[in-house]
């Protein structure tokens, strides 16, 4: 807080555990409401005195470009921290998560001086100027599945537009956020502009949501917690709340998708990347009955080749879940699934695993569209397979979810793609691939997946307000 490490006001600390081994990595300050108050006060001072908010776009750009380079300079350390903290594969953190975070930060830094204001047409003798103004203090609450990258999704557009931020990382993965704050000071970000308060969501998250001096909330996490932030806003200042919540994405495969090996690779990536702990994971496989057996044969063959193991080993294909608690939750859904479909692969246990945080890749066949495992966000390596016969049936099943974050569509028919894709209620529809994502493209959903949009220039709208300055020069 305010540019320096500090203990929690009440001295509380929390053990941060390595899910792969159960070892304690560090004792981390366990913040409370008083810590949130101090962080917000620091952020408010930093915003009001203009040490960041009134700097030019190019000055802010230079600082954030230095921070992006520092992330790259410290990429090995950050990748190992992320792997130890969250159980993520080192192959992913080193190749994607850390360099991707730097690239996103760089993209926003480079775009900010290229977004002009507006001069709308008005009457003679009048001049109206429309500018983007930073909102003030932003509370950012991020999840544990992509700790650094999701934080950058929020921080980059918030900081580059001149806001101050209080960031609450997830309890299970706070380390890279704390290291990022250190690097930000090294890059030249003024004290108080970025504050990181680890602590329990029901305490620190609620304090930020209700705080009268927080001007906006951005949140990625479960739909249940997203609802709470909407309530907090109503109980306090009607602050804007931007939500990116849960998902139950459908992976729809039509019989005219000829390359089933490519489809099978997509199915595996869509559900088992990051142990299935992805909000947009393609956890529902809807496959046209004519190719169901052929596709499942390929999918199951690939599943048998996935051996959960040490996430620090570059050869490991699947690591542990983020915590034993999360693994127990997933195992509960697997036990439910035994009564709802046919267990084709996996199950509850990984033989010989060093901790109970490991769950094997699991596939259920013949799952009814309204089954629990086809409706609830499991957030683990569990795939529910449902056959269909017709195009209309596929659309109905795919849209038969309260979520609307993402979907995939596999077909070699251009006509079918253009018919079906617009009717899939999802923020992103990936055609002949899974989970398409890029910093230049907005990410978010419909329904109970929330209504915020991360990434792209559209995200800047969430951290700025439009201000009209009307000049009468007659």
* Residue 459 φ/ψ, nearest 5 degrees: -65, -25
Q: Please state, in angstroms and rounded to a whole number, the distance separating the CA atoms of residues 315 and 310.
A: 9
Q: Exactly one of 149, 244, 245, 377 is catalytic; which is it? A: 244
Tokens of 95: 């190749």
CA dihedral (373, 379, 381, 382) in degrees, to 10, reads 0
DSSP characters for 212-246? Answer: TT--EEEEES-HHHHHHHHHHHHHTT---EEEE--
Among 257, 298, 205, 203, smallest CA distance to 420 is for 257
279 is an active site residue: yes
245 is an active site residue: no
The three-class DSSP label of residue 391 is helix
The three-class DSSP label of residue 429 is strand
Angle of CA points 106, 107, 111, to nearest 5°? 115
The three-class DSSP label of residue 276 is helix
- Residue 199 in contact with residue 168, Cβ under 8 Å? yes
For 118, which DSSP code? Answer: B
Q: Please state, in angstroms and rounded to a whole number, the distance separating the CA atoms of residues 223 and 241.
A: 13
- Residue 444 in contact with residue 426, Cβ under 8 Å? no
Q: Exactly one of 82, 149, 245, 279 is catalytic; which is it? A: 279
The three-class DSSP label of residue 158 is helix
Angle between helices 175-187 and 147-160 (to 10 degrees): 40
DSSP characters for 330-386? Answer: HHHHHHHHTTTSEEEE--S--TT-SSTT----EEEES--TTSHHHHS---SSEEEEE
Catalytic residues: 244, 279
């Amino acid at each position: 807080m305010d540019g320096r490490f500090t203990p929690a006001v009440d001295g509380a600390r929390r053990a941060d555990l390595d899910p792969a081994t159960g070892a304690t990595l560090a004792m981390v300050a366990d913040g409370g409401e008083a810590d949130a108050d101090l962080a917000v006060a620091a952020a408010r001072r930093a915003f009001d005195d203009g040490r960041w908010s009134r700097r030019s776009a190019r000055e802010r750009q230079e600082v954030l470009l230095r921070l992006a380079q520092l992330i790259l300079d410290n990429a090995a350390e950050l990748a190992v921290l992320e792997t130890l903290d969250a159980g993520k594969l080192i192959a992913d953190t080193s190749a994607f998560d850390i360099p991707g975070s730097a690239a996103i930060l760089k993209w926003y830094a480079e775009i900010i001086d290229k977004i002009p204001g507006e001069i709308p047409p008005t009457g003679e003798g009048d001049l109206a100027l429309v500018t983007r103004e930073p909102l003030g203090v932003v509370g950012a609450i991020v999840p544990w599945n992509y700790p650094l990258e999701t934080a950058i999704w929020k921080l980059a557009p918030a900081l580059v537009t001149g806001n101050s931020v209080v960031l609450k990382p997830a309890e299970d993965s706070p380390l890279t956020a704390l290291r990022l704050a250190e690097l930000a000071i090294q890059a030249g970000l003024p004290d108080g502009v970025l504050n990181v308060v680890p602590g329990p969501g029901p305490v620190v998250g609620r304090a930020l949501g209700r705080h009268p001096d927080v001007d906006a909330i951005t949140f990625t996490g479960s739909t249940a917690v997203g609802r709470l932030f909407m309530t907090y806003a109503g109980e306090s200042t009607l602050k804007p709340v931007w939500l990116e919540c849960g998902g139950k994405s459908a992976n729809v495969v039509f019989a005219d998708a000829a390359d089933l090996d490519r489809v099978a690779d997509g199915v595996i990536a869509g559900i088992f990347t990051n142990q299935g702990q992805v909000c947009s994971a393609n956890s529902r496989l809807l496959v046209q009955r004519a190719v169901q057996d052929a596709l499942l044969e390929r999918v199951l063959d690939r599943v048998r080749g996935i051996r959960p193991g040490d996430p620090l080993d570059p050869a490991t294909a699947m690591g542990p879940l983020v915590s034993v608690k999360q693994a127990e939750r997933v195992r509960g859904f697997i036990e439910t699934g035994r009564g709802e479909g046919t267990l084709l692969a996996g199950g509850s246990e990984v033989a010989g695993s060093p901790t109970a945080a490991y769950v094997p890749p699991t596939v259920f066949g013949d799952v009814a569209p309204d089954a629990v495992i086809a409706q609830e966000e499991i957030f683990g390596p569990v795939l529910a397979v449902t056959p269909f016969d017709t195009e209309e049936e596929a659309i109905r099943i795919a849209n038969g979810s309260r979520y609307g974050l993402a979907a995939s569509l596999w077909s070699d028919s251009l006509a079918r793609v253009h018919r079906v894709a617009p009717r899939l209620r999802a923020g992103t529809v990936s055609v002949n691939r899974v989970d398409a994502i890029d910093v230049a493209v907005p990410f978010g959903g419909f329904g109970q997946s929330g209504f915020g949009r991360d990434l792209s220039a559209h995200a800047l709208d969430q951290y700025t307000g439009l201000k009209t300055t009307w000049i009468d020069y007659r």
